[in-house]
Amino acid sequence: MGMVGGSTDAFIGAVHRRVAALDGYIELVCGAFSSNPQKSKATGKSLFLPPDRVYGSYEEMIEREKELPEGERMDFVSIVTPNHLHFAPARLALENGFHVILDKPMTLSLAEAKTLKKIADRSGLVFALTHTYTGYPMVKEARRLVAKGTLGVVRKIYVEYTQGWLAQPLERTGQKQASWRSDPKFSGLGGAIADIGTHAANLAEYIGGNPITELCADLQAVVQGRVLDDDATMFLRFEGGATGLLVATQVAAGEENNLFIRVYGEKGGLEWRQEEPNTLILKWPDKPRQILRTGLPYVGNEAAGATRVPSGHPEGYLEAFANIYVAFARAVADHQRGKKIVPQHYGFPDVNDGVRGMAFIEAAVKSSAQKQKWIRITV
């Protein structure tokens, strides 16, 4: 693995490195950790990388790694930069034969996303998008139960991602995350809707099994002076007839990462909460509620395969994230053995999820600006 971005002062780089290391399948062999070459060097050194594998730019990294013999050169690129620096390195990596794992949202705009999809499709390489939350075992179990009809036909999906970290104008203090997240140059069209709304939409589609077809959105910048939305609410319509609701807010003071989803079908409902991820609750009209827990014999293969420790030993965010990496790495290994890769067989979000996410952002922003209620999402 070679990394683009993720110098030691960035939060998300260390997360990616940890989750890549967790299972012993993936080794960090090189990186272009910062556009500042000194910073990149320092980061590489702190990670015990040989100096000649620490590069000053992603262009250099891709060019130089390409020249190394197979088996020695990096197998794939992990891109952990802000949104505005997703498209170019991803494109370059793909065009030079490197598989790519990329942070969400995929690009700055839907147009870029479509271009990237074309490039990825053409390349035949493995491309993963880190919608982390689909890596949780109980999310996989929820998806499985819905798919096999446990709840009956799905009618309602309520998904919400509430955070409080932008309840104050944190970006004015120079905090790094807050600064780029609230700046359209680095983030694109969407604020909260891009950062966490896409996670919520992806989760609703993943568990519910159907794409969102229409939405009616109300976006705001609650904190004065903010350009991008920090708060979003929307009605949803799904293929197959279900309707729902999506909340994505970063001004719910006191909330942490309260991603919460409820799905109701004709026969019963389920709920899952990211802050207590090892539990899945099923609710029934005519029999006791059920609490499903990771690591127990009754969960399906997908969840069982995404669990590392016995029941009652909680797993968390890093393990869920690592599940995305492991699934991606398995696909990369299979690709190297000449296999054609179907991402769904491995369970990682792919370039199509990325395009859908960008279409979702653009539809939400457009819907919020118009007086009419509903708008179609067109990919």
Residue 148 engages its own copies in binding (rule: CB under 8 A): no
Residue 218 engages its own copies in binding (rule: CB under 8 A): yes
Residue 71 engages its own copies in binding (rule: CB under 8 A): no
Residue 245 engages its own copies in binding (rule: CB under 8 A): yes
Contacts for 237-241: CB closer than 8 Å, 24+ residues apart: 237/212, 237/213, 237/374, 238/154, 238/157, 238/204, 238/205, 238/208, 238/210, 238/211, 238/212, 238/213, 239/210, 239/211, 239/212, 239/213, 240/153, 240/154, 240/209, 240/210, 241/153, 241/155
Residue 239 engages its own copies in binding (rule: CB under 8 A): no
C-alpha to C-alpha distance for 94 and 79, rounded to whole angstroms = 12
Q: Looking at 50-58, 118-126, 158-166, 342-350, which segment touches its own copies (CB under 8 A)? A: 158-166
How many residues form the binding site for its own copies (CB under 8 A)?
84
Residue 351's nearest CA partner among 81, 129, 40, 66 is 129
Residue 213 engages its own copies in binding (rule: CB under 8 A): no
> Which residue bears the tokens 């794939």?
76
Among residues 227 and 296, whose Cβ is nearest to its own copies?
296
Residue 324's nearest CA partner among 18, 10, 6 is 18
Q: Contact, 234 vs 363, CB < 8 A?
A: no
Residue 225 engages its own copies in binding (rule: CB under 8 A): no
Residues in the chain: 379
C-alpha to C-alpha distance for 360 and 198, rounded to whole angstroms = 7
Pick from 188, 191, 269, 347 the residue near its own copies by CB under 8 A. 269
Pick from 45, 185, 345, 373 the residue near its own copies by CB under 8 A. 373
- Residues 117 to 136 in contact with its own copies, rule: CB under 8 A: none
C-alpha to C-alpha distance for 11 and 21, rounded to whole angstroms = 16
Residue 158 engages its own copies in binding (rule: CB under 8 A): yes
Pick from 52, 71, 287, 337 the residue near its own copies by CB under 8 A. 287
Task: Tell me the backbone φ, ψ of residue 155, rounded to 5 degrees.
Answer: -115, -40
The contact pattern for its own copies, residues 19-58, with x = CB under 8 A and - = no contact, is --xxxx---x------------------xx----------
Minimum distance of its own copies from residue 286's CB (angstroms): 6
Pick from 15, 93, 341, 358 the residue near its own copies by CB under 8 A. 15
Q: What is the dihedral of CA 69, 70, 73, 75, to 10 degrees?
A: 160
Residue 365 engages its own copies in binding (rule: CB under 8 A): no
Pick from 165, 206, 325, 328 the residue near its own copies by CB under 8 A. 165
Minimum distance of its own copies from residue 202's CB (angstroms): 17
Minimum distance of its own copies from residue 225's CB (angstroms): 14
Residue 250 engages its own copies in binding (rule: CB under 8 A): no
Q: Looking at 54-62, 313-321, 329-337, 345-353, which segment touches its own copies (CB under 8 A)? A: 313-321
C-alpha to C-alpha distance for 362 and 161, rounded to whole angstroms = 19
Which of helix, strand or coil describes residue 261?
strand
